[in-house]
Structure 1
Amino acid sequence: MKITQIPFQKTGFFSKTMADYLEKSEQIQPFYNNFSDINGFHNQIEEKKKSFRLQSRLILLDAIKKQYQTFKISDKTKENIELLQQQNTFTVTTGHQLNLFTGPLYFLYKIISTINLAEELSAKFPEENFVPVYWMATEDHDFDEINYFNFDGKKVSWNRKDGGPVGRFSTEGLEDVFDVFSNHLGNSKNAQYLKKLFSDGYLKHDNLADATRFIANELFKEYGLIIIDGDDQKLKQLFIPFVKDELENETSFKVVSETILELEKEYPIQVNPREINLFYLGDDFRERIIFEDTMYKVNNTKITFTKAEILKEVDENPLAFSPNVIMRPLFQEVILPNLCYIGGGGEMAYWLELKNYFEKVKIPFPILLLRNSVQIISEKQGRKLSKLEISKEEIFLNQFDLLSKKVIENSVLEISFDTKKKFLQEQFAELKEVAKKTDVSFINAVNAQERKQIKGLEKLEKRLLKAEKKRQQDLVNRITALQNELLPNESLEERQRNFSEYYLEYGTSFIPNLKKALKPLALEFTILEM
C-alpha cells in the first residue's frame, strides 16, 4: 500500500469557500470559531467544559442505551457509551443520510475520519476522553437522494412510496433489491459477506434507521463508533427551549439572514433560512411549520395551532418537532458534548452560516473539519499511470487539458506557439512606441492588428494540437480510458462508487487500510495505491 497526499485545492474539485477555509483566509475567519488544529481543539475543550451539564450527559446516556437495546455491540462501543457520563468525555461527530447500503464511498471516509480524529485527540490530550459519533439523518425526507447505490456502473434502486421521515420507513420490499444486488456480486468469499451484511441489515430489521445502525455497527464496531438517532423523545426534550424560541422569535431566520448578507459578498450561499426552521413530524409526513394569520399551520395538512397550543404541544410532544438543515446542527450540539463536526465541502459551507446564530442562543460553535477524501488506485492502474507518465496531481486535470498536455509532451513537433506569440508581442511593442509619436487612431490600429495576429496564431495552435491528437490516437484513447476509470463521470469516485466494489476486491483489509491511510488533521487529499 502506497499513500500520497496532495493539497485539496490541486484536485480542482473543491470550492473557493473550502480553499479559503483551509488557508485560514482573512475574509472567512469571521464565520468560524476555533480552527481544526491542535491549538483549536485545546480552546474548544475548555469552552465546551463550561457549557455542557451533567444532567444532559445522563439523559444522552440513557437515550443511547435504549437505542442500542436490541443490538449486539462491541466492548469498545460499550466502553465509549459509558464514558459519556464523565465530565472529561467529548465527542467528535459526523452525520450522513441513510443511504441504501451506505451509498457513496465517502460515507466510509466520513466515519473513518471521525474515528481517527478521536484517537489522535486521545493521544494529544490524555487527560480527556474522545469518542466518535455517527449521527444518522433519520428525519430527512428526501427519499430520492438515498434510495439507491451504484455498483460496477449499475444503479441498484429501491422503489417504494415516499413520505415521512426516512428513518421510520419500513424495510418491506428490500428483498427485491437484495435479489438484484446478489446477481451482480457473484459467489466469492467476499461476495458472501456482502450478501449477508445486506440481508442481515435490511431483511431482519423493520425500519431504515435500525437497518442502517446495524450495517454501520458491523463495519465499524471494533473502533468504538457510537451511532445516534436524533428522532428520540428524550433527546428532543433537551431541545425544547430552542424549539420554543424558534416558534416565538424566529431567531435562526433573523440571525442567519444577517450572516448571509456578509457571507455572500465573498462566497456562494449553500442554504437559505425560512421564517420558522422547523417541521412537524408524523409517521407518514414531515411538513413545514408556517406562521400565518396569527396561527401556526402545518403545511399541506389541516393541522393548526394557536400560539398557546403549539407551545403546549412542544412540551407534551417534543418528538413531533423536527429541525431543518438550519437548526439540525444546533440540535446536535445541544445534546452532545461535541467538539468538532466532520463533513464534506457542501456541509461545511452551510455550517459557516450558523456561527452567529450559535452565539445568539449561547451554544458553543464546534470546530469544522473537512473530511478526508480518497482516490483509490489499483496496482494495475498505477502501472498504467507510470507508463503514461501521468503524475498523481495530473490525474485530476480536466480531461481536455490532460490530453493536450500529454500529447504535447509526446510530440516531436513544437505544438505550443508561446514563443511565437511572445516574439509577435515584442514586435508590436516596438510598433506601439512608434505609434505613441503619431495620433490615437494609429495606436488603435496597432492594437487591433496585434489582437488579430495573436488570435490567428491561437487558431493555428488549436488546429495543430487537434491534428496531433488524431495522430496520437492510441495515446489519447489509453489516457481517456484510464482517467474515466479513476474519475467516473469526470467526478471524484467517492461520489460515484459504493464500498462493496472495493470490498469485493480487497475484503477484510479494505477498511483497516483506509483507517491506516487517513489523517484528518493533515487537511490533504489522499491517494491510496492498493
Structure 2
Amino acid sequence: MQKHSLSYRETNYFTAVITDYLDQKENVKPFYELFPTLDNFGKQITSKQENYNAAGGGEKRTALINVLEEQYRDLQTSEATAKNIALLANDKTFTVTTGHQLNLFTGPLYFLYKIVTAINLAADLKKAYPEYNFVPLYWMATEDHDFEEISFFHLHGKKFQWNPPDSEKTGGPVGEFPTEGLQDVFELFSAEIGNSKNAEQLKIWFEKAYLQHENLADATRYLANELFGEEGLVILDAHRPELKRFFTPYVKEELFQQLSFRNVKETSETLEKNGYAVQVNPREINLFYMEQGLRERIIEKDGKFFVHEQEISWTREELEKLVDEHPERFSPNVLLRPLYEEVILPNLCYIGGGGELAYWLQLKALFESVKVTFPILLLRNSVLLQSKKQDQKRQKLNISLQELFLKPHELINRKVRKISNIDIDFSPQKEHLVEQFSGLYELAEQTDKSFLNAVKAQEVKQLKGLEHLEKRLLKAQKRKLEDEVSRIAALQQDLFPGKGLQERHHNFSEFYLEYGEHLVVGLLEQLRPLDLKFDILSL
C-alpha cells in the first residue's frame, strides 16, 4: 500500500468543533482534559490509576475478567486475546476503547478503522511506556435499539437488507435480537460475491456468525474476533448485572437528581456560544428501562416515575429498590453511556468518529461533578481506499488528492477551466468593472447624490450579466469536454458514493474480495493513530 495524507480540515468533511479540536484551538480547550499525545498519556495513566483504584478498581477488574471469560467461553480465543484478558487483573494494565453498533456484517468500513486505531494505539503506548500494559477493547453497543440503523450493508452498489420474520422481536436492545431471517441475506450475498478463495472466506464468516449464533451480540462478537482476535482485541458486552452494579450510585443520582441534565445542558450552551453545533441534547433523565423485548426511556412526573408509552410505574422507593436488585434493567443513553464505560473500565482513551467526539466534548463537566477521570479523546483513523487503477485515472485527469474531496460541481468546474483552451474565469473583468463603477460613484457624489442608487443598480445588473455569460460559456465548454467531465464524475462517484465519504458507505467485503487478508494487514501497517491525518491508501 502507498499512503498519502491530508489534514482533516482540508477534506471539508469534518465539523468545525472537530477540526478546531485537532488544531487545539482555544475555543475548544475548556471541553477536554488532555490532548492525545504520547507525553499526555503518561499523565493520563497516573490520573486514571489513582482514580480507578480509589473507586474499587480491584473489585471491578475481577468482575470484568469474570464477565469476559464467560463471554469468550464458546469462542476460539487467540493467545494474544487470552493474555490481554488475564492482564486486566494487573493494576498496571489499562484499556484503550472504541465502541460501535452491531451493524450487520460490520456495516460501513469505519468499523475496521476504529478497531485498527485501538490496536495500533495500544502497541504505540506499550513502546512508549513498557512498564505498563495496554489492551485494545471493542465495546459492543448491545443496548442500542435502533434496528433500522444496523440492519443492512452495502456491496457493489446494492443494499443487503435484513428483514426479520417477526418484527415484534426488534423492539428491545439490539444485542438480544434473534438472527432469524438472515438465511435470505446469506443466499443473496453468496450469489453476489461468487466463488473465489476470498469470497469463500467471507461466506464462512457470515454463515458462522449469523446462522450459527442465536442473537446479534453473539454473532457480532464472533465476527469481530475472527477479524481481529490475533491482534489481541478484547470484545466486551457490558450489559451484565455484575458490571452494572458498580454503576448503581450514578443511576440513582441520574434518576433522582438529574445528574447529567444539569451538567451537560450548561456545557452545551457554552459550546453553542462558541459557535459550535451541539451533537446531543440531554433529557431530564438519560436512562432507559429494559426488559425482554423492551427498551424505553424513563420519565419523572410529580414525584412518580414512568416508562414511556408503557403501563409501568414506580414510586421513588420502589424504583430505588429495583435499581439495587436489578441494575441490568437500567440502560444509559448516548450521553450517560460514556460515564458507565469510564466507571467500570481502567480506560485511558476513547476512540471515536467525529460525531462521537462531538458529544464526548459535552461531557467534561459531568465527569468532574462525579469525580471520574475524563478520558483522552482520539479521533479514529479515517481512510479513502483507492485501487492502483483509480489512482492512475486520477493522475491522468490531473486531479490532486486534495481536489478529490471537492464537491462534484466545484471539481468539475475547476477542471473544465484548467483543461479548456479558453479562459472562462471572468474575475479580471469583474474587478475591472468594479473599478470603473468606483469612478462613477465618485462622480455622482460630486454632482448629484440622487444618482448613487442608479449607479449601484447598473453595477449589479452588469455584474450579473457577466456571471450569466460566464456560466453559459462554462456550460458550453462542459458539453465540448463531455468525455473528460464524465470521467471526472465517474471517478469521484466511485470514491465518494452518494457524494459522501467512502468509509461511511462501503462494506469491508467489497475490498476483502479483491485483497483478502492483506486488507486488514495493510491497515494495521499503515494507519498511525496519533498522526491525526486523513489517509488515502492506494491498494
Both structures adopt the same fold (TM-score exceeding 0.5): yes
Alpha-carbon distance between aligned partners in 1 of 2:338 and 2:65, rounded to the nearest angstrom: 20
Alpha-carbon distance between aligned partners in 2 of 1:503 and 1:78, rounded to the nearest angstrom: 27
Say if 2:452 is the partner of 1:434.
no
Residue in 2 aligned with 1:45?
45
Say if 2:264 is the partner of 1:256.
yes
Say if 2:278 is the partner of 1:274.
no
Question: What is the aligned-residue identity percentage?
Answer: 54
Tell me by how many angstroms 1:153 deviates: 0.8
Residue in 2 aligned with 1:188?
196
Tell me by how many angstroms 1:245 deviates: 1.0
Deviations 1:298-324, CA, capped at 9 Å, x for gaps = 222222111111111111111111111
Alpha-carbon distance between aligned partners in 1 of 2:197 and 2:450, rounded to the nearest angstrom: 80
Residue in 2 aligned with 1:375?
384
Alpha-carbon distance between aligned partners in 2 of 1:262 and 1:40, rounded to the nearest angstrom: 25
Residue in 2 aligned with 1:482?
491
Which has the larger displacement, 427-436 or 384-393? 427-436
Residue in 2 aligned with 1:129?
133
Alpha-carbon distance between aligned partners in 1 of 2:84 and 2:509, rounded to the nearest angstrom: 28
Residue in 2 aligned with 1:36?
36
Say if 2:251 is the partner of 1:247.
no
Which has the larger displacement, 192-201 or 288-297? 288-297
Say if 2:340 is the partner of 1:331.
yes
Q: Partner amino acid for 2:119?
A: I
Q: Partner amino acid for 2:271?
A: L
Q: Partner amino acid for 1:208?
A: L
Residue in 2 aligned with 1:502?
511
Deviations 1:187-239, CA, capped at 9 Å, x for gaps = 00000000000011111111110110000000001110000001111110111
Question: Which structure 2 residues correspond to residues 376-455 of structure 1 after superposition, within 5 A?
Answer: 376-455=385-464
Alpha-carbon distance between aligned partners in 2 of 1:439 and 1:87, rounded to the nearest angstrom: 85
Question: Which structure 2 residues correspond to residues 104-115 of structure 1 after superposition, within 5 A?
Answer: 104-115=108-119
Alpha-carbon distance between aligned partners in 1 of 2:129 and 2:443, rounded to the nearest angstrom: 71
Mind listing any 5+ residue stretches in structure 1 that lack a counterpart? none
Alpha-carbon distance between aligned partners in 2 of 1:333 and 1:146, rounded to the nearest angstrom: 25
Residue in 2 aligned with 1:467?
476
Alpha-carbon distance between aligned partners in 1 of 2:261 and 2:39, rounded to the nearest angstrom: 32
Alpha-carbon distance between aligned partners in 1 of 2:515 and 2:191, rounded to the nearest angstrom: 20
Alpha-carbon distance between aligned partners in 2 of 1:496 and 1:258, rounded to the nearest angstrom: 35
Say if 2:211 is the partner of 1:177.
no
Alpha-carbon distance between aligned partners in 2 of 1:230 and 1:291, rounded to the nearest angstrom: 26
Q: Partner amino acid for 1:273?
A: P
Tell me by how many angstroms 1:135 deviates: 0.3
Alpha-carbon distance between aligned partners in 2 of 1:224 and 1:66, rounded to the nearest angstrom: 17
Residue in 1 aligned with 2:206?
198
Say if 2:218 is the partner of 1:210.
yes
Tell me by how many angstroms 1:171 deviates: 1.4
Tell me by how many angstroms 1:439 deviates: 4.1
Tell me by how many angstroms 1:351 deviates: 0.9
Say if 2:159 is the partner of 1:155.
yes
SS of the residue aligned with 2:517?
helix
Residue in 2 aligned with 1:223?
231
Tell me by how many angstroms 1:68 deviates: 1.1
Residue in 2 aligned with 1:62?
66
SS of the residue aligned with 2:283?
coil
Residue in 2 aligned with 1:80?
84
Q: Partner amino acid for 2:99?
A: G
Alpha-carbon distance between aligned partners in 2 of 1:448 and 1:38, rounded to the nearest angstrom: 60
Alpha-carbon distance between aligned partners in 2 of 1:501 and 1:259, rounded to the nearest angstrom: 41
Alpha-carbon distance between aligned partners in 2 of 1:436 and 1:225, rounded to the nearest angstrom: 75
TM-score by length of 1: 0.98
Which residue of the other structure, out of 315, 333, 356, is the alignment partner of 1:306?
Answer: 315
Residue in 2 aligned with 1:141?
145
Which residue of the other structure, out of 293, 317, 327, is the alignment partner of 2:326?
Answer: 317
Alpha-carbon distance between aligned partners in 1 of 2:495 and 2:104, rounded to the nearest angstrom: 23
Change (3 A) 1:124 1:440: farther
Q: Partner amino acid for 2:135?
A: V
Question: Which structure 2 residues correspond to residues 346-385 of structure 1 after superposition, within 5 A?
Answer: 346-385=355-394
How many positions carry a matched residue from both structures? 530
Q: Partner amino acid for 2:378?
A: L
SS of the residue aligned with 1:239?
helix
Tell me by how many angstroms 1:275 deviates: 1.1
Q: Partner amino acid for 1:321?
A: F
Alpha-carbon distance between aligned partners in 2 of 1:380 and 1:345, rounded to the nearest angstrom: 30
Alpha-carbon distance between aligned partners in 1 of 2:17 and 2:333, rounded to the nearest angstrom: 23
Q: Partner amino acid for 2:464?
A: K
Q: Partner amino acid for 1:467?
A: A
Tell me by how many angstroms 1:44 deviates: 1.4
Mind listing any 5+ residue stretches in structure 2 that lack a counterpart? none
Which residue of the other structure, out of 230, 234, 237, is the alignment partner of 2:242?
Answer: 234
Q: Partner amino acid for 2:116?
A: I
Say if 2:77 is the partner of 1:90.
no
Deviations 1:391-426, CA, capped at 9 Å, x for gaps = 111111111111111111111111101111122222
Tell me by how many angstroms 1:156 deviates: 0.7
Say if 2:306 is the partner of 1:297.
yes
Alpha-carbon distance between aligned partners in 1 of 2:495 and 2:310, rounded to the nearest angstrom: 47
Which has the larger displacement, 125-134 or 501-510? 125-134
Which has the larger displacement, 298-307 or 500-509? 298-307
